Structure 1
């Protein structure tokens, strides 16, 4: 079991390094290979179900980024099933978060919001670092939803809370994502000065976290080079 957990942790670390550079296809392959190695594992083993769920969530997210919607749906559905069967509350919260993001991306806003609120409530039950990060990301996705549905005051308040929670958890890439989301919202509202200021904050943090691919994708929108 320790060997399996080590292999899973290694695959997730390798895949997340690829995600950092936006190499989603390669990341999906890494997670897929690791899942294949667990394909014959016993469904009666909760720990293995949790490991399969974690890998499935990462793979599903990569497939979502690649807009391979049906593949992502199947992968995330299986991961959610494994998460429920594992009895691991933290894994289940992560699975509900992923389900919420997928639902929002595919236009099912009501279902997406319900999943995200369920995930947020579960993340609040624990105060470990992973749960704090989970709370922050759930808040970020809710803030994005609020902006898209015209609940603007709630969106900005939630984005501020997102930065606070993720900053306290040391998740600076998440803080950058929150600044990026706020920039997108301000830009949609025609706030030309402040959206660039928010985007600059995101670029600075992405650079600081070694996420050059994300920073370089946004930098041209600023119209000037950051130093």
Structure 2
């Protein structure tokens, strides 16, 4: 594959990651769309795998904006390309994204099936990306368990997510796990501990240099906590 495609791929991911860190989702979507538009009509091989990754990122950004139809299209295409690429790591990522989408649309049975499938596939490797993927699968499963009333399992799984993502030095992921745990504690009216958990989330968002996110959470709990 020509190097210009690899270079453009790396640049698109880097630029969009910076935009996502600042929660500039619309601009990130545009960055992904520009790279996708540069591809040949029938990408193959490594280019197909790269296309799957960018579609996954685009789908996630669309979910952040609650554009569900667009997100579904992007994630369906990503899963198709991931399977065609025969890259097990990308297939696992696509299944994880499908689980997140299904959970957001309250299709909880499908969400759990997708997430458990992704988790099993991530366990087949111990490279950094797989460990990070396991952490995010645990995080989303924990959130799902909380929504379905399996509270003990939810809190145990949140702890797994925090530990695994921390070991992978994915500070944004650790922060997201603490934030999701705080949301569950607040839902069950555990007033003291949800604020403590949100304080942990703020610390890790700061560590991940996600100022927009940490500032938004500070507005919920007050600066006195952190």
Asked if these proteins are the same fold (TM beyond 0.5), I'd say yes
Within a 5 Å distance, the mapping from 1:60-99 to structure 2 comes to 60-99=59-98
Within a 5 Å distance, the mapping from 1:1-227 to structure 2 comes to 1=1, 2-42=3-43, 45-227=44-226
The 2-side partners of 1:3 and 1:129 are apart by 26
The 2-side partners of 1:129 and 1:198 are apart by 26
Instruction: Tell me, yes or no, if the aligned pair for 1:15 and 1:30 is still in contact at 8 Å.
Output: yes
SS at match of 2:125: coil
Aligned length, in residue pairs: 225
Residues 210 and 226 of structure 1, relative CA distance in 2, 3 Å threshold? farther
Structure 2 unpaired stretches of 5+? none
The 2-side partners of 1:6 and 1:121 are apart by 32
Give the Å deviation of 1:226. Answer: 4.5
How large is the RMSD of aligned CA atoms in angstroms?
1.1
SS at match of 1:38: coil
Query: With structure 1 as the length reference, what TM-score do the two structures score?
Result: 0.96
Comparing 149-158 and 60-69, the one that deviates more: 60-69
Instruction: Deviation per CA, 1:1-49: give whole Å up to 9, x if none.
Output: 232122111101111111111110000000011011114243xx22111
The 2-side partners of 1:9 and 1:226 are apart by 38
The 2-side partners of 1:109 and 1:98 are apart by 14
Instruction: Tell me, yes or no, if the aligned pair for 1:50 and 1:86 is still in contact at 8 Å.
Output: yes
The 2-side partners of 1:80 and 1:177 are apart by 24
The 2-side partners of 1:3 and 1:135 are apart by 32
SS at match of 2:223: coil
Give the Å deviation of 1:65. Answer: 0.8
Instruction: Deviation per CA, 1:40-63: give whole Å up to 9, x if none.
Output: 243xx2211101100100111111
Query: With structure 2 as the length reference, what TM-score do the two structures score?
Result: 0.97
Instruction: Tell me, yes or no, if the aligned pair for 1:46 and 1:87 is still in contact at 8 Å.
Output: no
